[in-house]
Chain A
Amino acid sequence: MKHMKYSGLVAAALMAMSGAAQAEVTLTVLIDNAPNTVAQWEGISAAFTAANPDIVLELETRPGGGEGDNIVKTRLATGEMTDVFAYNSGSLFQALNPEANLLDLSDLEGQANVLDSFKPTVSAGGKVYGVPVGSAMGGGIFYHRPTYEELGLSIPMTWAEFMENNAKIKEAGKAAVGGTFGATWTSQLFVLADYFNVQAQVPDFAEKYTANEIKYATTPAAVRGFEHLQEVYEAGVMNADYGAATFEEGVAMVATGEVVHYPMLTFAIGAIAQNNPDELNDVGFFAQPGDDPNSNGLTVWMPGGVYMPKTAQNVEEGKKLLNFIASVAGCDAQTEATGFQGPYLVKGCDAPLDVVPSVADMMPYFEADGRTAPALEFLSPVKGPALEQITVEVGSGIRSAADGAALYDQDVEKQAKQLGLPNW
């Protein structure tokens, strides 16, 4: 376990210059260690301390993924959580046992600014426990714009068109789809980002899925995601090192045109901005197409939340910080630090006029009616932990799509039983 500490240096310097002599409160904050998250929180920290000179933030980082989940749970269980912490919303938030561990923030002033669509993802037992930080993300496909222009390709509205584009790209001697199974979680995108298309055909999928009345393997619309992985593998259109490449390499490959498509969540825009700032304008984005051109939309991931544990030492100062994050000043601080990466879930936080092309490509889905659907993990607590290994297998030709979906159903059953859900 690695911990690095960033103190509010900028803020401290400002205070030293103004010669302020107020009593200082140090508010501790636990965040994940992704470079984009750190940049975002350094921006929040500087702007918040500038507005509240008597409060300094001490940012502590933790790894992401499963290891991060365990750190957060352990620290909550042992009463050693920081004053404020950032963590996923949706099913992972539910696993924190919020009613026992977190401060009820239903009456926080800032909740008035939070969009209603976000609140259910950080609520339990009718109480709201967090405010959103960061922006909503889409799951879809990044593409290299110069190659699209060069080969005269157009944005695919159906999966068949997408595969046609892949074939043309392959003919031109390029890798069409970036596979980065070295970071196993990236292999899940074709399945998870297909949920818009699943719910378009089976509107009550999430509800029945939670109640154990419907399965992936026996729902043709749901198996499609696994079939996409198999089709892309069988077409042989991935980069040669798809089994070993990592997320960072995938982002760099689509930014430089080494691969032309990269299925990913739009938070990768932050990684492109950090690692390939010169190519930021070369990258575009479209939703993962389904089989029906008339129903084309984006699967959306809600931003994570900011919460306070019941054991917080500096409750008033913590609430001040949460109010700040759930305000226009809060989103402005984030936009300044990392650029605008997608819509915030806070009222009054509009998109600036000059956004990068990938964000500009994503915004119309949010602005139109019925062109977005939340990802399944925000609608159902049921999500099997082995999905990423299964999708690596299907995407590498080790297992067929049908087998993969059936195996995933088995994995999900285990998780539901461990959660103690009824009907499983």
Chain B
Amino acid sequence: MKRKSPYPYWFVFPAAVIFTTLFLVPSVASLWFSLTRWDLFTAEFIGLENFVQFFKEPFLVQGMTNTVIFAFVTSSLKTVLGLLLAVLLTSGIFAQGFLRILVFFPVLVSTIGVGITFTRLMHPTKGAINIALAQMGIDGPGWLTDPSLALFSVALVDVWKGVGLATLIYIAGLASIAPEYYEAARIDGATRLQQFWRVTVPLVRPATVTVITLSLIGGLRSFDIVWAMTKGGPGFSSDVLASVIYKQYQAGFYGLSTAGNVILFALVALIVIPLVSWMNRKEVDQ
């Protein structure tokens, strides 16, 4: 039986007003504008033409592929490295607190700042990375200017910046594992590696679900780090969906870019909703 809420409905009113004006109205408006030729001054209804045009965009397919590659590369690296770092940083090593701060610190720095800094560090001839490599006799590649490398260079920087958050979530997850499990495993003669695979990994699962979900959504809609470092270049080789959309907006094709955002929304929902429900179901099964 459903119990009647003890609070009157008008308690909802302030939140409803904020939600309606800031979220509901713009969402509905963007659906409308995605069906128009819109120059900010006038909007002319053109049906689904923007969506047709957006799917004809020569770099859309590459942008989508890149988006998915970027999201999966960053998400899996953040998950793996985050877990390993968390295990290391809860093992009671020297200067543990200081090292935790060090790992988390990049999360706090502005993405644009990180992007600009790494653009300098990855400069093909004057960047610190290639100068250091040259000292060792290695001819460093054009990290951001080689079309086959650019996307991965940006992904690595994104991992460097974001792995601290994954580590933090994992540290919290590890802390919630009761020490008795490890004790029992040790009595059964489990090695450290077996303890990790048989105890830590299964029991830290809720943290894994959180890390994967957050980093995957973050990766799919990533824009700032890409724009700060390569602007989708060289050419179109590191374009992601969000940068393709932004370029339509820059060009003044407001209806077209709104249509792109509707598509991005659908893509994120399409990937993330089944994934989350699948991961949650597995959790219940156990």
Do the two chains bind?
Answer: yes
CB–CB A241/B124 < 8 A: yes
> A74–B40 contact, CB under 8 A?
yes
In chain A, positions 385-400 with a C-beta closer than 8 Å to chain B are: 385-386, 389-390, 392-393, 396, 398-399
With an 8 A cutoff between CB atoms, is A368 at the interface?
no
Whether B250 contacts A389 by the Cβ 8 Å rule is no
Cβ-defined contact, A389 with B232, below 8 A:
yes
- With an 8 Å Cβ cutoff, the count of chain B residues facing the other chain is 38
Chain B residues positioned under 8 Å from A181 (CB to CB): 145, 233-234
Q: Which of B107-130 contact A (CB under 8 A)?
A: 119, 123-126
- A385 touching B251, Cβ below 8 Å: yes
Q: Mark B169-199, 1 if CB is under 8 A from A, else 0.
A: 0000000000000000000000000000000
A-B contact count (CB 8 A): 98
Total A residues in contact with B, Cβ cutoff 8 Å: 36
A366-424 interface (Cβ within 8 A of B): 385-386, 389-390, 392-393, 396, 398-399, 407, 410-411, 414-415, 417-418, 420
Q: What is the CB-to-nearest-CB distance from A37 to chain B, in angstroms, rounded to a whole number? A: 20
Q: Which residues, 3 to 61 on A, are CB-close (under 8 Å) to B?
A: none
Q: Is the CB of B252 within 8 A of A393?
A: no
Which residues from A are CB-within-8-Å of B247?
66, 385-386
| B41 close to A77 (CB less than 8 A) | yes
Distance (whole angstroms) from the CB of B77 to the closest CB of chain A: 25
Q: Contact check, B253 vs A69: say whether CB atoms are below 8 A apart.
A: no
In the complex, are the beta carbons of A244 and B144 less than 8 A apart?
A: yes
Are A244 and B145 touching (Cβ within 8 A)?
A: yes
Which residue of A386, A415, A420 has the most chain B CB atoms within 10 A of its CB atom? Answer: A386
A101 close to chain B: CB less than 8 A: yes
CB of A354 within 8 Å of the partner chain: no
Q: Nearest residue in A to B54 (C-beta to C-beta)?
A: A414
Q: Across the interface, which residues of B come within 8 angstroms of A67, CB to CB?
A: 250
A181 nearest CB neighbor, chain B only: B234
- Cβ-defined partner of A73 (8 Å) among B144, B235, B252, B255: B252
Chain A residue at minimum C-beta to C-beta distance from B127: A244
The chain B residue with its CB closest to the CB of A239 is B125
Query: Quick check: A244 and B142 within 8 Å, CB to CB?
Result: yes
Interface status of A70 (Cβ within 8 A of chain B): yes
Query: Are the C-beta atoms of B234 and A241 separated by less than 8 Å?
Result: no
B125 and A414: CB pair below 8 A?
no
B58 touching A407, Cβ below 8 Å: yes
Interface centre among A100, A386, A389, A418 (most CB of B within 10 A): A418
* Contacting residues of chain B (36-64) with chain A, CB-CB under 8 angstroms: 37, 39-42, 44, 49, 53, 56-59
Residues of B close to A235: CB separation below 8 A: none
Q: Which residues of B contact A414 (CB under 8 A)?
A: 53, 56-57, 253, 256
Q: Is residue B106 contacting chain A, with contact meaning CB distance below 8 A?
A: no
User: Per a CB cutoff under 8 Å, which of B42, B44, B124 touches A243?
Assistant: B124
Contact call A396/B125, Cβ cutoff below 8 A: no
Closest approach, in angstroms, between the C-beta of B122 and any C-beta of chain A?
A: 8
In the complex, A411→B256 CA distance in Å?
13
Distance, CA A240 to CA B142, complexed state (A): 10
| Interface presence of B218 (CB below 8 A) | no
B236 CB within 8 Å of chain A:
yes
Annotate A110-141 by CB proximity to B: 1 below 8 A, 0 otherwise. Answer: 00000000000000000000000000000000
Q: Which residue of B lies closest to A243 (CB)?
A: B145
| Chain B residues with CB under 8 A of A151 | none
Decide: A420 near B44, CB < 8 A? Known: A70-B252, A95-B252, A398-B147.
yes
CA distance A70 to B145 in the complex (A): 28
Assess A389 versus B235: contact at CB under 8 Å? Given A70-B249, A414-B53, A418-B253: yes
Does B236 contact A69, Cβ atoms closer than 8 Å?
no
**Do A392 and B235 touch across chains, with their CB atoms under 8 A apart?**
yes
Q: What residues on A are CB-neighbors of B250 within 8 Å? A: 65-67, 69-70, 385
Take A392-B234, A414-B57 as given contacts and tell me if A69 and B41 are in contact as well, using a CB distance cutoff of 8 Å.
no
Residues of B within 8 A of A100 (CB): 41
Asked if B161 CB lies within 8 Å of chain A CBs, one says: no
Contact, CB under 8 Å: A69 / B252 = yes
- Give the complex CA separation of A77 and B44 in angstroms: 16
A240 touches B124 (CB 8 A): yes
Does A184 count as interface, using CB distance less than 8 angstroms? Answer: yes
The reply to whether the CB of B237 lies closer than 8 angstroms to some CB of chain A is yes
Whether B231 sits at the interface, judged by CB under 8 Å, is yes
State the CA gap A411–B250 with chains docked (Å): 14
- Given A240-B125, A415-B253, 10 more A-B residue pairs with CB atoms under 8 Å apart are A74-B40, A76-B40, A95-B39, A181-B145, A244-B124, A244-B144, A385-B248, A386-B236, A396-B145, A417-B53
Write the residues of chain A forming the contact surface with B, with a CB cutoff of 8 angstroms. 65-67, 69-70, 73-74, 76-77, 95, 97, 100-101, 181, 184, 240-241, 243-244, 385-386, 389-390, 392-393, 396, 398-399, 407, 410-411, 414-415, 417-418, 420
A-B contact pairs, 14 of them (CB 8 A): A66-B247, A66-B250, A67-B250, A97-B42, A101-B41, A184-B231, A243-B142, A243-B144, A244-B144, A385-B251, A386-B247, A393-B235, A418-B252, A420-B37
